[in-house]
Structure 1
C-alpha cells in the first residue's frame, strides 16, 4: 500500500498570508517557505472563516460549523462554563485516517480542551485576564491523534511545556528551548520512527503569536534597522498614531519569529526528503488566522478584514498536486475534507459542511470550484462583547453585517478587486444587496438563527420582494 501518502500538516499561529515572502507584501524573509511554494501549489485564496484560534481549529479538524462542533468562541475557563469546547466523539480528518491505517500524531498547541479546575495548578496557571487557558487533554478527547506531545494554550515560547501520550495531568514536561525549534525536533523524530505504515502528523506552532518578544535573538538582526513605515507598508495603516507605533514595535519581533518558523520549515522539508522508501509525503503549511498589525487601526485578529482572514497555504504534493498557484477558495471548513481527499479517503457525515478541494488542486473540477467561491464569516457574541457578525466573502467582494443589540445593524461592503485594502465601504452598492441575498440563503441552509438576520433582510428588501 505504498501509494498511500504520508500527511504532514504545519500550522503556525497568527501567521498572516502577507508574510509569505513569495507574495512580496510584508518585508519579511521566508526563503524555505518560498522554495516549498515554488515546488508546490501556492493557494492564494485560503481564508479563515472565523479568524481566531479555537473556532478555526475546530472547523479545520472537523469540517463542521461552529454551532455543530461546539466551538463558537475561544476556549478558556470562562467560555467552558458556557459549554464552549469541541464536542465529544466528533469525527476528524485524523480519526478517519487512523481508522484507515495511518499512524497519527499531534505536536504543539491544541487550544480546544475546556479547562477544569485542576488545570490551573498543573498547566500555565491563571492569566492576568482572570482566565485559565491552558489544559491537559484526556486520551479520550484527542480526536483521532494517537501520538501526543501537546498542551492547551500557553504563551511561553522560550520555556514551553507539554503533555506526552501517556502522561497524566500532573506529569507535564518542561523544556528550555524555543518552542518552534523543539517541536520541530519532536516532529522529525516522529517521522523517522513512523515505520512502514503511512503517518499523518499535525505540527501546531505557537509563534509568531504573542508574546512577540519571546523569539531567539538570532532572528532579530535583519529587522532591527527597519522603521515603522518600512515595516508596516500597507496603505491601510494609519501612521503617526499610537496604534501604528505599537504595531511597528511588534512587527520587528513578529517578522523575526516568522523567519524563525521558516528555518524550521527548512529542517522539516529536509527531513521529509530523507525519509526511507518510496511513499510520498503531502505537506501542507498554513495558519489559523492572520493579524492586523496596525491595518485599520487594529493590532490583532477576530475581525473580517483581509489581514486577519487571509491564510498562507502551500500544498506540496509532487506527483499529486501540480506545482504553480491556485485561486480556488479553501476556507476553515474545507481543510478537513480536502486533507482526506489528498490522502484518497472520503468521509461521509451529514454534519460536514466543508468542500473537498483536492480535485481542483489536482487540476480537475476547476469551473465548478470557481463558481463555488463563497466563504461564510462568523463571530459570535461573548460576555465581553454582545455584538455578533455574519459575513460572506468571495474572491472579488465581501459583505460584513454586525448586529449590535443596543444600536442595530452595521454594514460594510468591500470590492476586493478595486479596493484590496478595504479603504472604502459602500453598503449601498447594488452588488452589496446581491451578496446579502446570498449570505441569507447560506445562513438559512446552515440553520443559523443569527439574531441580526431580520434586520439585514429589512435593510435590503428589494432582494426579497
Structure 2
C-alpha cells in the first residue's frame, strides 16, 4: 500500500479568525476553497502561545513541563529542544520518509550564549543548527533560529554560510518547498514548512498585499477598545488607533500573501497528481491580539492569543466539513500518526484524535488546555534576583464548550493569584469575566479547578501546584 505524503504548513502569530471563511474582510480565497474540501475546527488551541514552547510541543507531542522549553530560545537562557527527545521527524525518517524542514526553527539555543562571534554570523537569538542529532531526523534543513527580516531573510543549509533570500520569505520558502517535493519522487515525503509572517514587524510585507486593505475600512471586534495597546511579552506596543489600523492592514496583507503561496503549493501538488495522497495540515503556532483587550502580540489566555487555524485534508480518510473538536498542540503528532497508521511512541502525551475526525464525532469529555510561563529575560531576571522558581509563573487554563477557566499567578514574583471564569455562550468576546481570589466561591469554578488541577498533575506541572 502506498504511504501518504505529509505536508504541515504553519505560520507564526496567525490568529484563528484571520481567514476569509471566518472573517469576510480577510482575503484568503485559496484557503477558503481548501477548507471546503477539508476537515476544520474552530476549537484548535495552542498549548502555549509563544513560539519556542509551541514548536517543542508540536515536534515531540509532549507538554512544555516535560520538554523544558518554558520560554523562547533566547540569549542568556538555555532553553532548547534536547537532542534525546523523540520527535515526529525522527520516527518518520525511520518509516522511510524523506523529511524536510524549511523556515523558522526557533528550537536551538542562541549561539551568542556560548560564543561572542560565532562562525555562522548568528546574532541575537539566532543560531545555525548543524547537521546531526539537533536536527532530529530532518534530511533537508533550510532554516534559521530566530530572525524577523521578512523582506531580506537569511537561512542556513549544511554549512555555517548565511544564505540570503532576495524576496519575501514566504515566497522564497514556498519555492524551496516545491523544490524539495520535486526531488522526493523516490520516497514518500514529510515536509514541515514554517512561515514567519504574519509575525511582527508587520511592516515587513510587500505593499502589493498590504494595499489590499484600507485603514478606514478595517473592522475590529467589540473587544478592541482604547487608544494604547501593550504587549504582554515586553516588546513594543502600539500607541494609537491609527497606528493599529495601519498594522491591521499589514497583518491581514501578510495573511493574504500567505494565501497566495498556499495556493501555489496546492497547484503544484495537483499538477503532479500528489494532492489527494498528501495529508495537508494548515495551522499556526499561536494567535495575535491586534488590539483586542488592549493588547497586541500573544501570551495571554484570550481567544485571539490561543485560538489558531486548523484545517486538515486527506480525502481517503478525513471527511470534509466543520467538526468543532477540541485540539491542542500535543495532539497533532499522535493524530497525524493515527491517520497514517504509524505506531505512536510511548513518550507522546497528546491524544490520538484520528478516529473522531474520521467518524465526525467528538470525545465525551471535550476539553483543551493551554499554559504560559515567563516569556522574556526581564521576567526571568526578576525570578533569579528573588531566588524564586520561574516555573510557578504565568497562567494555566481549561477550555470547554461552555466555559473557560484560568488560574493566573502573573509573570513577576509575588503576584496575587487570581481565578477567572468566562461564559463562552454569554460572553464570547471575553469582556465580563467573573474574577475572584477564591475559586471555591463559585460551583462552576470549583469543578473546572479540579479538572485543571488533575490535568496539571497528569502532565507533570508539579511546580505550579505548589
TM-score strictly above 0.5: yes
Distance of aligned partners of 1:269 and 1:381 in 2 relative to their CA distance in 1, 3 Å threshold: closer
Q: Which residue among 74, 90, 96 is the counterpart of 1:76?
A: 74
Deviation at 1:122, TM superposition (A): 5.2
Partner SS state of residue 296, structure 2: coil
Q: Is the 8 A contact 1:10 1:204 kept in 2?
A: yes
Deviation at 1:181, TM superposition (A): 0.2
Partner SS state of residue 139, structure 1: coil
Q: How does 1:372-411 map to 2 (within 5 A)?
A: 372-380=366-374, 383-385=377-379, 387-404=393-410, 405-411=413-419
Distance of aligned partners of 1:119 and 1:322 in 2 relative to their CA distance in 1, 3 Å threshold: farther
Q: Is the 8 A contact 2:226 2:294 kept in 1?
A: no
Residue 53 (structure 2) aligns with: 55
For 1:254 and 1:196, how far apart are their aligned partners in 2?
Answer: 39
Residue 443 (structure 1) aligns with: 456
Q: Which residue among 115, 138, 158 is the counterpart of 2:151?
A: 158
Q: Which residue among 304, 309, 314 is the counterpart of 1:312?
A: 309
Distance of aligned partners of 1:279 and 1:248 in 2 relative to their CA distance in 1, 3 Å threshold: closer
Residue 424 (structure 1) aligns with: 432
For 1:124 and 1:336, how far apart are their aligned partners in 2?
Answer: 33
Q: Is the 8 A contact 1:43 1:315 kept in 2?
A: no
Residue 458 (structure 1) aligns with: none
Q: Is the 8 A contact 2:102 2:143 kept in 1?
A: yes
Residue 463 (structure 1) aligns with: none
For 1:295 and 1:232, how far apart are their aligned partners in 2?
Answer: 12
Q: Is the 8 A contact 1:232 1:294 kept in 2?
A: no
Residue 438 (structure 2) aligns with: none
Distance of aligned partners of 1:270 and 1:380 in 2 relative to their CA distance in 1, 3 Å threshold: same
Partner SS state of residue 94, structure 1: helix
Residue 221 (structure 1) aligns with: 211
Deviation at 1:408, TM superposition (A): 2.2
Q: Is the 8 A contact 1:59 1:333 kept in 2?
A: yes
Q: Which residue among 83, 104, 112 is the counterpart of 2:107?
A: 112
Distance of aligned partners of 1:382 and 1:449 in 2 relative to their CA distance in 1, 3 Å threshold: farther
Residue 327 (structure 2) aligns with: 330
Q: Which residue among 107, 122, 128 is the counterpart of 1:136?
A: 128
Distance of aligned partners of 1:296 and 1:104 in 2 relative to their CA distance in 1, 3 Å threshold: same
Deviation at 1:148, TM superposition (A): 0.9
Distance of aligned partners of 1:237 and 1:146 in 2 relative to their CA distance in 1, 3 Å threshold: same
Does 1:301 find its partner at 2:298? Answer: yes
Residue 353 (structure 1) aligns with: 349
For 2:334 and 2:147, how far apart are their aligned partners in 1?
Answer: 29
Residue 388 (structure 2) aligns with: none
Deviation at 1:281, TM superposition (A): 0.6
Residue 139 (structure 2) aligns with: 146
Residue 264 (structure 1) aligns with: 261
Residue 129 (structure 1) aligns with: none
After the TM superposition, which of the residue ranges 60-69 and 199-208 deviates more from structure 2?
60-69
Q: Is the 8 A contact 2:15 2:308 kept in 1?
A: yes
Deviation at 1:338, TM superposition (A): 1.3
After the TM superposition, which of the residue ranges 236-245 and 173-182 deviates more from structure 2?
236-245
Can you give the 5+ residue segments of structure 1 that lack an aligned partner in the other structure?
Answer: 127-131, 455-465
Q: Is the 8 A contact 1:54 1:111 kept in 2?
A: yes
For 1:411 and 1:372, how far apart are their aligned partners in 2?
Answer: 22
Q: Which residue among 81, 89, 96 is the counterpart of 2:91?
A: 96
For 1:75 and 1:295, how far apart are their aligned partners in 2?
Answer: 27
Can you give the 5+ residue segments of structure 2 that lack an aligned partner in the other structure?
Answer: 229-238, 384-392, 436-440
Residue 231 (structure 2) aligns with: none
Deviation at 1:121, TM superposition (A): 4.4
For 1:371 and 1:302, how far apart are their aligned partners in 2?
Answer: 26
Q: Is the 8 A contact 1:215 1:257 kept in 2?
A: yes
For 2:6 and 2:116, how far apart are their aligned partners in 1?
Answer: 31
Partner SS state of residue 295, structure 1: coil
Q: Is the 8 A contact 2:276 2:315 kept in 1?
A: no
Deviation at 1:244, TM superposition (A): 3.7
Give me the TM-score of the superposition, normalised by structure 2: 0.89
Q: Is the 8 A contact 2:111 2:122 kept in 1?
A: no
